[in-house]
Amino acid sequence: MPTMSKCDDDHEQSTGEHHNKYRKYPIPAHQCLFPAHINPFMNDKQKMADIMDWWYGYSMLPKEHYWSKVSQAMSTYTYCFYPFTKSMDRYENIVKWVGYVFVWDDHNDTPQGEFGENLSDAIPVHRQYLEAVERLQSMYVPDGESRDKPFIGMSGWRPYVLCVYAVVETVLNAMNRAQRRRFLASWRLYLNGQHRENELVMNSESLDFDGVTKLRMATGSMDTFISLIEYSVEVCVPDGDWDDPRVRQLRDLCNKSVVFMNDVYSFEKELRDQNGCVEGLVTNSVAYYVVREGMAIPEAISKMIGINGDIEREFKAISDDVYSDDDISADTKVFVRALTAMMPGNIVLSQTLLRYNKIY
């Protein structure tokens, strides 16, 4: 596993070697089947600092929370998830998108955010995001129905909604129609998943494991991250390849791997946020096995690590088949290579971020 250097000299950074330092429930040693890659743009500290300062100005999050929990996350996720991006302009826009995901997640999910204490108050902002998607859809992927819809104004939008709208518009300008359609669909899926998760929490509902998995695959925003791969490495996956059952399965497996391991590494932080009430973690897969299957916490953590190992092996078998298929385009194979990198990158960032590791 590569040695991680600091992204921000003002904040301590945990490493993979001692990520259990702050935990009551240590995570067993495990290794990803695939090698990790790190984007060297992480070393441009002035550029990263400028992006973080830019986002802070629009985030509406408390200063201490933003700089200790959000700024490091947006940088680390990007250099771990997009190691092959060569354009700094594109890399910067991806960092800003990742920043949006964490800004909104923390407004929606933490006591430091606008709505952590009253999720029903998030509904109007959720509508603003959906309006942003609709507005961009009508401009960049127009159809007969969207042309007939009324004009959508932006005057009442939150600053962080306006901010991400501008970022996405820049990204869409560099995409073809199919890529625009995929990205906007993934953003809508993420927003609807967040809204559904809020409903579960407010109504104290519970789901079976398949339901938890499906919802987490939406709320984790992985479909948006995956939809940015083509933009990041400057390739175009043909619709036929995108819809190929093997490529679709690879996207789903990568999504599952990332959200399951995120559940492992964020479980104890979420448990703390719920004042130790594991029943409050309605969409965490580790919590599912504790609450619904009666497992001890260490057993449930090991269970999810084992499930992830199975996912990685299945991913490798399918990806090897795709690489050997002459009917699959070269761009699609570049896409699959970049998709693969997200899984080991996720392990690196999960063992690195203070957000998940400095808990108490």
2 assigned to some structural domain: no
Q: Is the pTM of this model over 0.85?
A: yes
Q: Which residues, 6+ apart, have CB-to-CB distance to 230 below 8 Å?
A: 175, 179, 236, 237, 331, 335
Q: Which residues, 6+ apart, have CB-to-CB distance to 20 below 8 Å?
A: 26, 27
- 29-42, pLDDT tens digit by residue? 999 999 999 999 99
The Cβ of residue 342 has, within 10 Å, a number of other Cβ atoms equal to 23
CA 191 – CA 180 distance, rounded (Å): 17
- In 3D space, the residue among 358, 356, 359 whose CA is nearest the CA of residue 347 turns out to be 356
pLDDT for position 257: 98
pLDDT for position 9: 33
Give ∠ CA 84-248-348 in degrees, rounded to 5: 40
Task: Give the DSSP H/E element, type plus range, for residue 317.
Answer: helix 297-323
208 assigned to some structural domain: yes
Percent of the chain with pLDDT over 70: 93
- Number of structural domains found in the chain: 1
195-234: string of b/e by CB count within 10 Å (b at 16+)?
bbbbebeeeeeebeeeebbbbbbbbbbbbbbbbbbbbbbe
Q: What CATH number did the domain enclosing 353 receive?
A: 1.10.600.10
6 assigned to some structural domain: no
- 279-325, pLDDT tens digit by residue? 989 899 999 999 999 999 999 999 999 999 999 999 999 999 999 99
17 assigned to some structural domain: no
169 assigned to some structural domain: yes
Domain limits at 293?
22-357
61 assigned to some structural domain: yes
Q: Which residues, 6+ apart, have CB-to-CB distance to 105 below 8 Å?
A: none
9 assigned to some structural domain: no
10 assigned to some structural domain: no
